[in-house]
Amino acid sequence: MRRSTPGRLAVAACSLALLTALAPAASAVPAAASKAPTAPAAPAGHHPGPAAKRVGYFTQWGVYGRDFQVQDLETSGTAGKLTHLNYAFGNISAQGTCVMGNIPGEADAWADYERPLDAANSVDGTADTWDQPLAGNFNQLRELKAEHPGLKVLLSLGGWSWSTHFSDAALTPASRKALVSSCIDLYIKGNLPQDGTRGGAGAAAGVFDGFDLDWEWPGSAGDTDTVYRPEDKRNYTALVREFRTQLDAYGRAQHRKYQLSAFVPAAPAKIDAGFEVRKIMRDLDFVTLQGYDFHVSGEPVTAQQSALRARGDFSGDATVESWLRRGAPAHKLVLGMPFYGQGWTGVSGGGDGMGQPATGPAPAKWGPGYADYKELKELAADPRYRLYRDRRGGHAWLFDGTTLWTYDDPQVLRDKARYVRARGLGGAMFWSLDADTPDGELITAVDQGLRH
């Protein structure tokens, strides 16, 4: 996953380049001559179709620079195609509890539940008032759920930047109990900090239907200030168990079921360092697999970032196989798909640009080497760029002779969704919804692939 603080450049979800040497790029063909990879036939009688999960991340900070509001999920038609909406991110304090407030770089209560929205930007068309306890994104999520009663909204806890204190918080039975209790109190019971007329006891009750654990990474390195230790592996299992136990206990009292998911890595070394796969899968409703950032723009050679298949390299299929071999059930594996691209500039060596030296990340609107799909769609219409596809690998890239962007377009995503169906997987996940077009072009493609 990516950043958790507005105003800070997104760092690669996992620096996989440090874990493996770059494999030779698969041979590519121009888009006009390309052919999508054929997924294996689905098992007889297996038709996940509409039942497959569609999990999209909504970024807290996207309401600022990108001006992507909860209402946009409704106007784009996206909300009606989702089964789960993950709100990114919640943070853990140095004291080992879920924390919220207006703390620069650590929490943003203004975006979460204080910011008033006018009628034009509200899901239900009604302006927020000065004295209502819940405003901001949380209130809009409540309104969105009223329009889509089947939609589950999960609070995603951690992320690349905010996994700092996970290891400490999971260290002992007492610390795990305290962490989970504080998270349930804040997000499930909705007992928000009081700030003037906003917040208070139960202010956000009913907004969230569970948690998505985004600890990057137990037992191995993540962001520069993120603590990790060998015992994280067993402590992660115990933390998942604690979340499941407390959520179930509270759910029984409320006569409802709260959900628990986790974002998990692609690299086998990271899986083995931090995850007792068979044990955690008993308590998790599903996991979302890292299906992107296999290579990132900080690397010196261009490479695919999200191929479905890549011989001798990271890929979506290899990630699925890694989790299956370690005991994860297929129906609980949700394949992550990027709604953004990784880009390089100063690419030399000619050809289609893939597997060639580069001088650095490509310039882009939101940060070097990182561009939303809606921006890349515009580049694809630029006659200076040529679209390439890898037939066997199932990925695409743009190249103008100097700058290369690797990304997933609608054709790639439809093929990936068909792969999900053919393998009997649990569904598809998207990072992140604010990178799609205003009419939801990418999520529509995935939805089509999951149905047909």
pLDDT in tens, 278-336: 999 999 999 999 999 999 999 999 999 999 999 999 999 999 999 999 999 999 999 99
- The C-alpha atoms of residue 266 and residue 35 are separated, in whole angstroms, by 26
Residue 84 φ then ψ, to 5°: -135, 140
- Which residue ranges make up each domain of the chain? 38-340+409-451
- The C-alpha atoms of residue 138 and residue 109 are separated, in whole angstroms, by 10
pLDDT band at 143 (very low <50, low <70, confident <90, very high): very high
* Token pair listed for 258: 């709260």
Residue 4 φ then ψ, to 5°: -125, 0
CATH 3.40.50.300 applies to domain 38-340+409-451: no
* pLDDT value at residue 50: 53
- The C-alpha atoms of residue 217 and residue 239 are separated, in whole angstroms, by 14
Catalytically annotated residue among 114, 216, 242, 375: 216
207-214: average pLDDT: 99
Burial level of 452, CB count in 10 A (0-12/13-18/19+)? exposed
216 in catalytic set: yes
pLDDT, tens digit, 9 for 90 and up, residues 231-260 = 999 999 999 999 999 999 999 999 999 999
pLDDT, tens digit, 9 for 90 and up, residues 6-52 = 333 333 333 333 333 333 333 333 333 332 333 333 333 333 445 89
